[in-house]
Each structure stands twice: as C-alpha cells, then as structure tokens.
Structure 1
Amino acid sequence: MGLIGEVLMLPFAPVRGGLWAVSQVLAEAERLYYDPATVRAELARLEERLESGEISEEEFDRQEDELLDRLETALHSGAGTDNGTTR
C-alpha cells in the first residue's frame, strides 16, 4: 500500500491492531487445545475422575472419545508442535 493509502487507513489502525491481537490469541488457544501433551494430561485427569467415582462409565467413554479425537487431529496435523509459530 502506498503512502496515500497508509495515510487514509490510519484511522483504522486501532481496529487492525485489535484484529491482529484477536487472531494471535485464537491461534495460541487452538495450539494449546490440540497440543498432544495437554490432551494426554486431560485423559489422565479423566481417568482419575472415573476411578474416584466422580463420573460414570458412560460419561468417561463420551469424554474419552472426544479427547482421543482431539489427539488424533493433533497428531495428523502436527498441531502443538510448532512452538507458537504459524503454520
């Protein structure tokens, strides 16, 4: 964008900066959500909840399936392994 374009877009700089910040937060949240270590830790906590009687076997199976789907997605896409860099 040329100098005139930059000057004309200057009033929108806070909006562009805000959108950039939101996109960075979303990218980091997604990276953490699909991080294999995070998913494995959640699986361990889920098993502890089952053993303590906090949740039923059916609830355990449902949540375990969701976590295993996340783990499979993470392992196939390589999510959580890029150390915060964009893909």
Structure 2
Amino acid sequence: MGLITSLVTLPLAPLRGTLWVVDQVLTAAEREYYDPEPVMRELKDLERRLTSGEIDEAEYDRREDELLDRLEEIESFRQAGRAAAHDA
C-alpha cells in the first residue's frame, strides 16, 4: 500500500478492525456450535439415564432423535466447509 492509499483509507481502519473482531467471534461461535463432542456426551448421558431408570423409553427415543438430527446438521455443515475449502 502506498502512502496516499494509506492516508485515504485511514478513516476506515476502525471499521475494518470492528469487522475483523466480528468475524473472529462468528468463527469461534460456529466452531463451538458445530462441535460434535458435546452432542456425543449428551447421547452417552441419555443412555445412562435410560439404563438407570431416570427416563422412560419414549423420552429416550424423542431426545435421541433430536441429538441424532443435530449430529446430521453438524456433519452437513462440515461437509459443506470441506467442499468450499476444496473449491477455493
């Protein structure tokens, strides 16, 4: 970047910094939201609760379906990310 370009775009520096921070927060949030490990822990806990008698079979089936749907969503997101990275 030349001196003139730097001087002309200087007023935009706070905006670029803010956009960078927003991008970093979004990336961290996506990483956390699309992490399969918490879902796997919930599945294990759900099975433990069923075997210990805390919940009945109907509750287990309902909650298991929700968690498996969540895992499918995570896998779809990851595959889309890999496809986008491959295309780039």
CA shift digits 1:23-71 (9 cap, x unpaired): 1111111111111112212334556677646xx839x72x544432231
For residue 69 of structure 1, what is the aligned residue in structure 2?
69
For residue 30 of structure 1, what is the aligned residue in structure 2?
30
Aligned length: 77
Higher relative contact order (CA 8 A, sep 6+): 1
Percent identity, aligned pairs only, is 53
Larger Rg: 2
TM-score, structure 1 normalization = 0.57
CA distance in 1, matches of 2:18, 2:77: 28
Structure that is richer in helix per residue: 2
For residue 17 of structure 2, what is the aligned residue in structure 1?
17
TM-score, structure 2 normalization = 0.57
Aligned-pair distance for 1:21?
0.9
CA distance in 2, matches of 1:39, 1:4: 52
Q: Is the 8 A contact 2:34 2:77 kept in 1?
A: no
The answer for unaligned runs of 5 or more in structure 1 is: 80-86
The answer for unaligned runs of 5 or more in structure 2 is: 80-84
Partner SS for 1:78 = helix
